[in-house]
Structures are given as structure tokens and as C-alpha cells.
Amino acid sequence: MSQDTDLRAALGAPPEPDFELELPPGWTRHRPDRAEQEAMTASVRARAMQAHRPDLLAQAQSMLRESFESMRRGDVRAFFTPTEPGDDTLWMPASILASVRRAQPDVSLDDVVRHAIREYGATALDDDRRIVRFERDRLESMGDESMRVLTVVYLTPMPGTHRRAALQLTATLARPLDVEADDPLVDGMRVLFDACASTLRWVRPRP
């Protein structure tokens, strides 16, 4: 639970709505809490031992810890990854983060959208224009390895917040350096991310 959620409850304000998405096969919704972090750490430990690679365990645990700490600092409410074993699971080095972006005293959410349009060429995802979409592609390094990372961002106002808060979906796809941004596989993931974002529906807050 975020500090803002605690404050809303203390003031007697209605809780912010939750949301649902239709996900690719084998993808699961997770909370960035301690319990999920411990479960993922245990899974990584088991896989490292099974592969007889204890040397990778410390690095993987450090990466997981930093990732969860970053999500909690960024007001991430949920993240989505391919985790369910099965023949139909879409295993890709990809994920979707769902965070809350709030207006600041000197920067409104409309200002954020205008900046995204001006700097990143943001456009409406579909005809009803409820979701704004933009993307970036950049080089990232992880240890001694470098990769290209496509990031697709979706922004939509949260109901009941008077445009003071927006849900931000951040979809990422990592790929080798020799795979271009217009590669058919990358284009296919763009279509998949767009399809997931377009299924967004608001629901009552989860307990």
C-alpha cells in the first residue's frame, strides 16, 4: 500500500480504482511487495542450484532487490511477466509495469502529455483517445553485456481523481544489439503491448 493510499484512507476519501488487463498466454500479475520478492528470490535460487551455477545467485539476488526497491519507490502497483509454465506461455524478455503518476504543483498531467507529444511523438492509442501512447528505444548495459531496450508507455487518467492522477503502463522488451527496432519480432511485440493496453478496464479496489 502506498503512502498516498494511506493518506486517502485517513482523510476518508474513496480509494482509487484498481484495473484489469487481458494478458498474453502464461503472463501473470504480481505485486511488488516483500512476499513476491521473497518468492521470486527463492525461485531464482532453486534454478541457479539446479543449473549448478551458484556464481550467478548473488548477482541475480542483487538485481531482484534493486528492481523491487525501484518499483516501490516509483509507486508501481503491479507488474506483469511470463511466469506460468506451459506450452502456450509467451516467453519473452519483456514485462509491463503499472504505476500511478500524479500531478505536481507546477506540472499538471496535461503538461506531461503535451511534453510527451512534443518530445516523443505521443499519439492516442485508439479512436476514443482515452489512452496516450509513446515509445523510446535505447541502449542499456547490464554488467559486461549491452542490449537494446524498447519501452512503450501508455498514460490514461484515473477515474475519480479529477485528472490529478494517471495510470501509467510501461512495457519493455530487451533484444540483442543486432536486432533492429523495425524487426518483425519487435513490431509483433508492439502490437501485443498495444492490444494489452487497449483492454484496460477499471474495477473496484482490491483488498
Residue with cell 559486461: 144
Angle between helices 34-50 and 57-73 (to 10 degrees): 160
The confidence score (pLDDT) of residue 59 equals 75
**CATH dotted code for 3-203:** 3.40.1000.10
Residue range 1-16: average pLDDT?
56
Residue 70 pLDDT > 60:
yes
Residues with Cβ within 8 Å of 202's Cβ and at least 6 positions away in sequence, in order, are 17, 18, 19, 158, 159
Long-range pairs of 84-88 with CB within 8 A, sequence gap ≥ 24: 84/26, 84/27, 84/28, 85/26, 86/25, 86/26, 88/25, 88/26
Residue range 197-207: average pLDDT?
89
pLDDT for 103-139, tens place per residue?
998 999 999 999 999 999 999 998 888 999 999 999 9
15 secondary structure, DSSP code: P
Helix/strand/coil for 56: helix
Domain boundaries, the chain: 3-203
Asked if 98 contacts 81 with a C-beta cutoff of 8 angstroms, the reply is no
Residue 55 pLDDT > 50:
yes
pTM, two decimal places = 0.85
Q: How confident is the model at residue 7 (pLDDT cuts 50, 70, 90)?
A: very low
Residue range 17-39: average pLDDT?
93
